[in-house]
């Protein structure tokens, strides 16, 4: 059942969308996500062809109203994830539009089962609401407008009204018509029934002309004011259409015109790190007004805690900070496999060319002087994000496009393919190995790696791909996976199991390689390959370690190099499988 339900998540929060996507993927749902930007929604519906929209928004949200107006022609059911679930009693009988409200916070155990139930019982729903009394009818009328319902309302024996996308198109009650008729129906407090219907003049004619009388004129009157009723029946005052659907030219929060906001911004969370509160406040205000989700930290330790628990598309950090400065923060980020793919930029009050080169060599993607203007900084941030944005846009293509997986981040690539529900294969290569990975509906099914005559599969192959730094390749629809390599686990579960293990292995190696190692046990075939593709500057150390079997301490003494330099070489030899430690 899950594989037949294709879920498009619409969520302005990148982190929230990814968590939802991973939970749905783990439950077997084909899934992708996008922001509320009209172009994003249109592209996602066209390319992914969802069967249901899962939208994180309140029912009164202007974004939801605009979204419903844009997608109603597609007849796609909408499931909301919202804090306010008071309208559940209305939506749970409807067949179109908003058909369910799941109460925040998201619970995979409860909400995924409910999503299956909704999609299963949707064809059997009657699409009718009924009740008695003024108060209930007022609440229903407000609901019809908020959710842009189309259908007919019957009150008593002779009251009739018809709504098209939440707008009153025709109404008759006794001697009254239109708004006067609707007000009289509410005051009458008789039995009422609303039935979902189809759009168009013929539908109105059929509903309003049941008694043989000619239908009322199709004048567009919106139900924008509460209908007065008797004092003992308090009313619910629905908002006006203009309150729910703002003009397209209206400025967004903070005075930034909607046209100036980067449509990709809501999916680009940024972390700014600086010990100067005025600097982080300035950066946060500017980018938040541009639509970016923004977080801040006062030093490297606080920032490290943040990026270890939530993803950021860009981190911009100051070089000079207390506790943990920019250099230390960069090193910690790059050494931890959970975070080492995070795009990093550093800035400083000093516009130092040599320092910028050192930072780029140490793993930073960019270096900014603090004298850079805000608009120019935003351009630089967009440039840092563009490779990943381009990859996401090109996933649906039929192949023939090369990607730099090393710069994108192998783990990020796997997660992006999971979120988009990708089916096909990934072919990658570097100077060391070639890989092939198979996906089915966004789940990684198998991975193989070939290094010289050595062939790996499953976890060992995936581990080598995750730790690759310069892999390049492309996507293709290719052939089905030869077998199952990950015991049916979701991609997220596979990564959450494998990455901590790799971290532990690398930590163990780094701690013991200088203190405990007496020599290295060398794989001769891989060693010869490493000599041809490894960094030339490392070769003197590599030959002493692998050919003469000197200990790291002896290499330090012989070549007069630093312990950190030898540690980096040993770590790379272990990572590549060229050598293993011998105590």
pLDDT of residue 331: 79
Paired with 295 in beta bridges are 271
| Stretch among 253-257, 275-279, 346-350 having the lowest mean pLDDT | 253-257
Which uninterrupted H or E stretch holds 278?
A: helix 277-289
Residue 353 has pLDDT above 60, yes or no: no
253-389 CATH, one of 3.90.550.10, 3.40.1160.10, 3.40.50.2300, 3.90.1150.10: 3.40.50.2300
CB within 8 Å of 389: residues ≥ 6 apart: 264
Whole-Å CA distances, 111 to 14, 232, 309, 461: 20, 39, 23, 35
Which DSSP string corresponds to 66-88? HHHHHHGGGT--EEEEES--TTH
- pLDDT tens per residue, range 425-465: 999 998 889 999 999 999 999 999 998 888 999 999 999 99
pLDDT-derived band at 65, boundaries 50, 70, 90: confident
pLDDT of residue 167: 83
Whether the Cβ atoms of residue 55 and residue 16 lie closer than 8 Å to each other: no
pLDDT-derived band at 234, boundaries 50, 70, 90: very low
CA-CA-CA-CA torsion sign (28, 34, 38, 39):
negative
Give me the percent of the chain exceeding a pLDDT of 70. Answer: 81
Residue 205 has pLDDT above 50, yes or no: no
Which uninterrupted H or E stretch holds 373?
A: none
Whether the Cβ atoms of residue 19 and residue 46 lie closer than 8 Å to each other: no
Q: Where in the chain is the domain with CATH 3.40.50.2300?
A: 2-123, 253-389
Q: At which residue do the structure tokens 């049916």 appear?
A: 488
| Stretch among 171-185, 187-201, 219-233, 502-516 having the lowest mean pLDDT | 219-233
Q: Tell me which residue of 12, 41, 10 sits closest to 267, measured CA to CA.
A: 12
* More confident of the two residues 511 and 255: 511
The two three-digit tokens of residue 73, written as one number: 């022609």
Q: Average of pLDDT values for 93-101?
A: 91
Strands 443-451 and 579-582 come out as unpaired
Q: Provide the 3-class DSSP secondary structure of residue 523.
A: coil
Give me the chain's average pLDDT, please: 79
pTM above 0.95, yes or no: no
Provide Rg for the chain, Cα atoms. 30
pLDDT of residue 287: 92
Whether the Cβ atoms of residue 83 and residue 58 lie closer than 8 Å to each other: yes
Where does 2-123 sit in CATH, by number?
3.40.50.2300
pLDDT-derived band at 51, boundaries 50, 70, 90: very high
* More confident of the two residues 498 and 326: 498
- pLDDT tens per residue, range 560-579: 876 667 877 887 787 677 88
């Amino acid at each position: 059942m899950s594989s037949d339900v294709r879920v498009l998540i619409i969520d302005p929060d990148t982190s929230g969308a990814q968590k939802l996507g991973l939970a749905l993927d783990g439950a077997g749902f084909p899934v992708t996500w996008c922001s509320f930007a009209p172009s994003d929604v249109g592209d996602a519906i066209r390319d992914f062809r969802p069967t249901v929209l899962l939208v994180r928004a309140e029912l009164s949200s202007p974004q939801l109203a605009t979204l419903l107006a844009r997608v109603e022609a597609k007849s796609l059911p909408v499931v909301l994830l919202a804090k306010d679930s008071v309208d559940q009693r209305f939506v749970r009988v409807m067949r179109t539009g908003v058909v369910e409200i799941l109460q925040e916070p998201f619970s995979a155990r409860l909400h995924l089962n409910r999503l299956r139930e909704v999609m299963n019982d949707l064809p059997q729903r009657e699409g009718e609401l009924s009740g008695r009394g003024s108060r209930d009818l007022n609440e229903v009328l407000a609901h019809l407008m908020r959710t842009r319902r189309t259908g007919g309302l019957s009150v008593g024996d002779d009251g009739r009204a018809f709504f098209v996308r939440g707008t009153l198109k025709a109404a008759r009650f006794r001697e009254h018509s239109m708004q006067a008729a609707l007000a009289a129906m509410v005051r009458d407090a008789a039995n009422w029934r609303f039935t979902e219907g189809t759009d168009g003049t013929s539908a109105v004619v059929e509903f309003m002309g049941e008694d043989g009388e000619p239908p009322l004129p199709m004048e567009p009157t919106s139900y924008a004011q509460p209908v007065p009723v008797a004092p003992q029946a308090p009313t619910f005052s629905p908002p006006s259409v203009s309150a729910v659907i703002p003009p397209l030219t209206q400025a967004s929060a903070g005075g930034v015109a909607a046209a100036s906001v980067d449509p990709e911004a809501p999916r680009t969370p940024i972390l700014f790190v600086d010990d100067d509160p005025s600097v982080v406040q300035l950066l946060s205000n500017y980018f938040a007004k541009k639509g970016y989700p923004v977080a801040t930290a006062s030093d490297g330790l606080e920032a490290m805690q943040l990026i270890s628990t939530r993803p950021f598309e860009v981190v911009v950090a100051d070089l000079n900070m207390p506790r943990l400065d920019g250099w230390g923060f960069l090193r910690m980020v790059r050494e931890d496999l959970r975070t080492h793919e995070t795009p990093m930029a550093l800035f400083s009050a000093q516009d130092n060319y040599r320092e910028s080169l050192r930072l780029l060599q140490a793993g930073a993607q960019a270096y900014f002087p603090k004298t850079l203007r805000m608009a120019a900084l935003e351009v630089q941030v967009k440039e840092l994000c563009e490779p990943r944005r381009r990859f996401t846009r090109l996933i649906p293509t039929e192949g023939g496009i090369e990607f730099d997986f090393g710069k994108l981040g192998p783990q990020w690539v796997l997660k992006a393919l999971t979120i988009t529900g990708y089916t096909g294969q990934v072919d990658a290569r570097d100077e060391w190995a070639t890989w092939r990975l198979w996906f089915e509906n966004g789940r990684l099914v198998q991975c193989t790696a070939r290094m010289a005559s050595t062939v790996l599969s499953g976890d060992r192959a995936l581990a080598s791909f995750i730790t690759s730094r310069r892999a390049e390749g492309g996507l293709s629809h290719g052939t089905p996976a030869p077998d199952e390599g990950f015991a049916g686990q979701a991609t997220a579960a596979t990564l959450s199991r494998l990455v901590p293990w790799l971290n532990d292995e690398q930590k163990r190696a780094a701690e013991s390689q200088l203190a405990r190692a007496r020599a290295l046990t060398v794989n001769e075939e891989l060693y010869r390959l490493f000599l041809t593709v490894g960094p030339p500057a490392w070769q003197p150390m590599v030959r002493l370690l692998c050919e003469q079997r000197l200990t790291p301490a002896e290499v330090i003494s012989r070549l007069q190099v630093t312990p950190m330099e030898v540690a980096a070489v040993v770590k790379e030899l272990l990572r590549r499988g060229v050598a293993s430690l011998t105590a």
